Amino acid sequence: MFKQISLALCMLALVSGQAYSDQPNVIFVMVDDISHNSFSYYKADGPRTPFIDDLARKSARLTDFHVSPTCSPTRASLMTGRYNAVTGVWHTIYQRNQLRADEITMADVFKHNGYATGLFWKWHLGDNYPFRPKDRGFDHVVWTKAGGVGQSSDYWGNMQTRLSAWINDELVVMEDEDDGIEGAFSTNFFFNRAMEWIEERANENQPFFAYIPTATVHDPFHLPPDARDGVDAVTGSIENIDKNMGRLLKFLDEKGIANNTILVFTTDNGGHGDDTPLRGGKGSQFDGGSRVPCFVRWPAGGVGGLGKGHDVTPLTAHIDWLPTFMDMLGFEDLPDRPGNLAIHGQSFKNFLDTDLSNDPGPEFKNRTIVIENMRTENAEKHKKYSAKKDIWNGNKITNKWRLVRGSAKGRYELYDVLGDEAQEENLIENKAHEGVAEDLKAEYEKYWDLVARRSDEYTRIILGHSSEPVTQLNSHDFHSRYIWNHAIVATGKTGSGFIAVEFSEPGTYHFDLRRWPKEIEDQTTLTTAPDGVVYDGKTESVPLDIASARIKIWNGDEVYVDTRKNAEAGADGIPFVVESLPAGPAFIQTWFYNFAGEPEGAVYYNYARREVSQK
């Protein structure tokens, strides 16, 4: 049945711009910073998640599914089908979260095949042109910036219970009651916006790709207004996600589109809490950092449904979803994909309707997947990685190997998680498995060769472009001494670092160096602080003794400007006008100083624009 449906879909291959009502819709939900034991399907005495549990029972469950151990890297691999470090993404800060501008995204592919594309909430692959979701294939975007609520580039003062979001560049304030739900909470808001958009697409008979990556349950943690008595903010937030999944499932049923909608639910990395029996959690090179729940249901395609849930045991990963969708839906790739942007993942379509009933072929059987968690400013080899491989005998998996290493000076470890899920018995000294270890080391070298080809490149924010006339540069992106959230900004931490940019055109550029973001300029000056609390609901803002600022712009050995300027009394910022800047790459670094001439805080926000002559 599955092959017949896939063949029929191939015959309905789409031409870009066309839409067919019988094409399946796709909804991809990815929640943040939680894993197996956050759901009562896996841990009965954990948070109560009846709707997600029911979805799991009615889905194909990928039981050995891996993502990257932290946020942005997972999103880069999911969006491209490629290893995250190869796309320029190996951290969540330092601009190392910005997906290279030449990468082709999942949204690009869906759009090329006639689908409407929508993103609802956490992107974390760049906040400025050319890295924003609207630059990367999404038609409709509802989001907060950076990697979570209250991070440096997010709207000032945002919390899970008090939030302003952008809907296609329009700022919208979350209301106290949204679609009949009392009390404001972020997850409710974004699920509601997603369902509104889905309903519009369904009414137009247009197939859609709805990507719903929540920023819950990433910190800061706030108790949802609908939380049951006695639970903490984390548990309440998990259970609120479950309620929203329940509302989404009911909505799809009521609109008559559940049967022909591919619904995927997963998480972006291991959680902070205990995920026994897995070893490690978020950020770990062991399975607890990367192995997460993943469910997929598509009743019309023979995937899941009432009484049809089953486990899919082969090794799979985030890089596999793009080729799997392309295989399931009969998609054409973009015709101009360069050879150096080849997809690294492989389709696991044949496992979704029946587990191991089809021989996956030698390419799938022999592959190794590498998961690495560098979290360094510059690419670093042998940094917290695991090379993973299944060994097959016919259609049966006989071993699930993990070669693990924490650093270039660290020891190698080898585990077979088929019988040692907790990764307790290190087999690296066992001569019987010496060949396995050497094979996995060689596979890591092949992976690293892909990374190293462009690892010295910077992903550069483009300034002065018509797509973003005014660009906010902020301390989240500082190389070296980054300052990543509102709480740290509010308390005035000292820091500075360069930001990699590209000037779109030669000319005169204006820079407005600020202590606070522009959205609260009516409440602040350089030396005063706004009232109220931010981020965790406890942190208050403090004033700084800012007397002057410095800006330096350079490329290589050529310094375009390095100048200092005193602040005017009562000013919001210190403006600089720099003439005759050439088009092309550059670095910008800024500083604030106090009256003693010492560094004071940081230029947390710098607004850049190109002077455009009025004709």
pLDDT of residue 353: 80
Please identify, among 341, 372, 403, the residue that sits at the C-terminal boundary of a domain.
372
d(CA 76, CA 88): 9
pLDDT of residue 400: 99
Domain total for the chain?
2
Please state, as a whole number, how many other Cβ atoms lie within 10 Å of the Cβ of residue 199.
14
Please identify, among 316, 342, 372, the residue that sits at the C-terminal boundary of a domain.
372
Q: What is the mean pLDDT of residues 205-210?
A: 98
Please, which pLDDT band fits residue 197 given cuts at 50, 70 and 90? very high
**Do 193 and 103 form a contact (C-beta atoms < 8 A)?**
no
Which of the residue ranges 10-19, 31-40, 319-328 would you say has the lowest mean pLDDT? Answer: 10-19
Structural tokens at position 22: 């019988």
Amino acid making up residue 590: T
Within a domain: residue 388? no
Question: Residue 542 sits in a domain of what CATH number?
Answer: 2.60.120
**Do 136 and 119 form a contact (C-beta atoms < 8 A)?**
no
Within a domain: residue 169? yes
Are 360 and 488 within one domain?
no
Question: Could you read off the pLDDT of 266-305 as tens digits, one per residue?
Answer: 999 999 988 999 999 999 999 999 999 999 999 999 999 9
Within a domain: residue 266? yes
Buried b (16+ CB within 10 A) or exposed e, 522-545: eebbbbebbeebbbbbebebeebe
Q: If you average pLDDT over every residue of the chain, what do you get? A: 95
pLDDT of residue 357: 57
Are 226 and 103 within one domain?
yes
Are 80 and 214 within one domain?
yes
Q: What is the mean pLDDT of residues 500-522?
A: 98
Are 511 and 368 within one domain?
no
Within a domain: residue 394? no
Within a domain: residue 444? no
Are 465 and 355 within one domain?
no
pLDDT of residue 4: 35
Please, which pLDDT band fits residue 599 given cuts at 50, 70 and 90? very high
Within a domain: residue 257? yes
In this predicted structure, the answer to whether residue 530 has a pLDDT above a threshold of 90 is yes
d(CA 593, CA 547): 6
pLDDT of residue 16: 37
Region at 584 (left for phi over 0; alpha for psi -120 to 50; beta for the rest): left
Please identify, among 372, 389, 421, the residue that sits at the C-terminal boundary of a domain.
372
In this predicted structure, the answer to whether residue 565 has a pLDDT above a threshold of 60 is yes
Are 362 and 471 within one domain?
no
In this predicted structure, the answer to whether residue 422 has a pLDDT above a threshold of 70 is yes
For the chain, what percent of residues have pLDDT higher than 90?
91
Within a domain: residue 397? no
In this predicted structure, the answer to whether residue 609 has a pLDDT above a threshold of 50 is yes
Within a domain: residue 534? yes
Pairing of strands 605-610, 539-540: unpaired
Please, which pLDDT band fits residue 358 given cuts at 50, 70 and 90? low
Q: What is the DSSP string of 64-106?
A: TEE--SSHHHHHHHHHHSS-GGGGT--SSSTTTTSPPTTPPPH
Q: What is the mean pLDDT of residues 380-401?
A: 96
Q: What is the mean pLDDT of residues 87-95?
A: 98
Are 362 and 509 within one domain?
no
d(CA 273, CA 495): 31
- Cα dihedral 17, 20, 23, 25, rounded to 10, equals 70
Domain span holding position 118: 2-372
In this predicted structure, the answer to whether residue 17 has a pLDDT above a threshold of 50 is no
In this predicted structure, the answer to whether residue 257 has a pLDDT above a threshold of 60 is yes
Are 365 and 465 within one domain?
no
Are 267 and 158 within one domain?
yes
Please, which pLDDT band fits residue 615 given cuts at 50, 70 and 90? low
Are 467 and 357 within one domain?
no
In this predicted structure, the answer to whether residue 356 has a pLDDT above a threshold of 60 is no
Are 272 and 128 within one domain?
yes
Question: Could you read off the pLDDT of 580-591 as tens digits, one per residue?
Answer: 999 999 999 999
- Cα dihedral 296, 302, 307, 309, rounded to 10, equals -30
d(CA 478, CA 588): 10
Question: Could you read off the pLDDT of 450-477 as tens digits, one per residue?
Answer: 999 999 999 999 999 999 999 999 999 9
Check: pTM over 0.75? Answer yes or no: yes
For the chain, what percent of residues have pLDDT higher than 70?
95
Question: Residue 347 sits in a domain of what CATH number?
Answer: 3.40.720.10
In this predicted structure, the answer to whether residue 7 has a pLDDT above a threshold of 50 is no
Please state, as a whole number, how many other Cβ atoms lie within 10 Å of the Cβ of residue 158.
24
In this predicted structure, the answer to whether residue 10 has a pLDDT above a threshold of 50 is no
Please, which pLDDT band fits residue 182 given cuts at 50, 70 and 90? confident
> Where is 587: in which H helix or E strand?
strand 584-593
Please, which pLDDT band fits residue 539 given cuts at 50, 70 and 90? very high
